[in-house]
Amino acid sequence: MILDGHIHTSNTPERECRESLLERMAEAGVSGGMLLSMDPLGDGKCLSAAERLDKLFSITGGRPNLYTAYWIDPTADDAARQVDLAVSYDVNAFKVICSRFHPSDARAMDTYRKISETGRPVLFHSGICWDGIDSANNHRPGGFECLINIPNLKFTLAHVSWPWCDECIAVYGKFNNAYYWRDDVSCEMFVDITPGTPPLWREEVFKKLFCGDYDVGHNVIFGTDSYAHKYNVTWTRDWMQRDGELYEKFGLAGADGFLEHIYGQNLLRFLGLSDEKFEKKVPMVAESANDTRVRKI
């Protein structure tokens, strides 16, 4: 089973969108995935929160393996009300782009805490954002370290934070290392490998991500950044083939359960739909680098 963890929706009529999505996903060999509601500050700005949720669930509702993420502006005056509304729809996750504020903005932090209390995870855009405004400093992966103080939050940084992929991987290592220093840390970071990374850089990024010192096998999520109403079959197939060749090259494809986790199981665990438990290696530093401490996740 292959699940796409990063699919956008648009203002296309819901039935037309749903029929096109299911047909094209099947053609691409994809079984389902997570759909994001429309951008509240972009193509969805003329719609209410309820209208954007209605459109999202009109596409996904009742269909196995189609999951929902509500795109929220966490600094909005009514952000808390929107969280409650989305939860009343039984949304699976939330989506945030921090173009107009820093991730640590106090209003946003209050919203993240409220989301965490609902048990839902958050997908953040991270990396250069083609949003037409001066926003790079809001999308550096180091800026998301503030989330370490939010209990039980699961979050993922999309696009491996291109072009700050090294920084993204280091931040992932820091979150895991924090389990050694602080027993109270319960926040967990995932990495969304949706492009992002142009093909020329993909091999270098994958080598650093998968062949380095950090235990990532249960925390990487596949995605395409495609649209539900025109799901791009060629784009999806090309990325899966390209990534598959890299997994083969690095000797990962034959590893027990590796592909199943990257292409589906990790998304389900991120969404709280899998009760899988495992031990995660806690990365150490300097003379303690060979320590084999683990944390049960």
Mean pLDDT calculated for residue range 166-183: 93
Q: Is domain 3-296 annotated with CATH 1.25.40.10?
A: no
What is the number of residues in the chain? 297
Residue-level pLDDT at 289: 57
Residue 205: what residue type?
V
15 or 221: which carries more pLDDT confidence? 221
Q: Is 243 exposed, middle or buried (0-12, 13-18, 19+ CB in 10 A)?
A: buried
The per-residue pLDDT of the chain, averaged, comes to 94
Using the structure block, give the residue that is written with the tokens 């060999």: 29
**Predicted local distance difference test score (pLDDT) of residue 84:** 98
Omega of the bond leading into 74 within 30 degrees of 0 (cis): no
DSSP state of 125: P
pLDDT digits (tens, 9 = 90+) for 229-247: 999 999 999 999 999 999 9
What are the residues whose beta carbons fall under 8 Å from the beta carbon of 124, sequence distance 6 or more?
95, 96, 97, 98, 103, 144, 155, 156, 157, 158
As given in the structure block, the two tokens for residue 23 are 């047909």
Q: Cβ distance 9 to 17 under 8 Å?
A: yes
Gap between the Cα atoms of 77 and 148, Å rounded: 24
Q: For residue range 77-89, what is the model confidence (pLDDT) as tens digits? A: 999 999 999 999 9
State how far the alpha carbon of 248 is from the alpha carbons of 62, 245, 253, in Å: 36, 5, 5
pLDDT at position 293 over 80: no
- Strand (E) positions, the chain? 3-8, 32-36, 66-71, 93-96, 122-124, 154-157, 188-192, 220-221, 226-227, 279-281, 294-296
**What's the pTM value of the predicted model, to 2 decimals?**
0.95
- DSSP conformation class of 287: G
The predicted pLDDT at position 283 comes to: 87
Residue 33 dihedral angles phi and psi, to the nearest 5°: 165, -170
Q: How high is the pLDDT of residue 257?
A: 95
CA pair distance 35, 120, nearest whole angstrom: 15
pLDDT of 15: 81
Cβ-contact 267, 34 below 8 angstroms: yes
pLDDT, tens only, 26-72: 999 999 999 999 999 888 889 999 999 999 999 998 899 999 999 99
Q: How confident is the model at residue 286 (pLDDT cuts 50, 70, 90)?
A: low
Q: Give percent above pLDDT 90 in the chain.
A: 81
Q: Indicate the range of 133-147, 154-168, 212-226, 274-288 predicted with least confidence.
A: 274-288
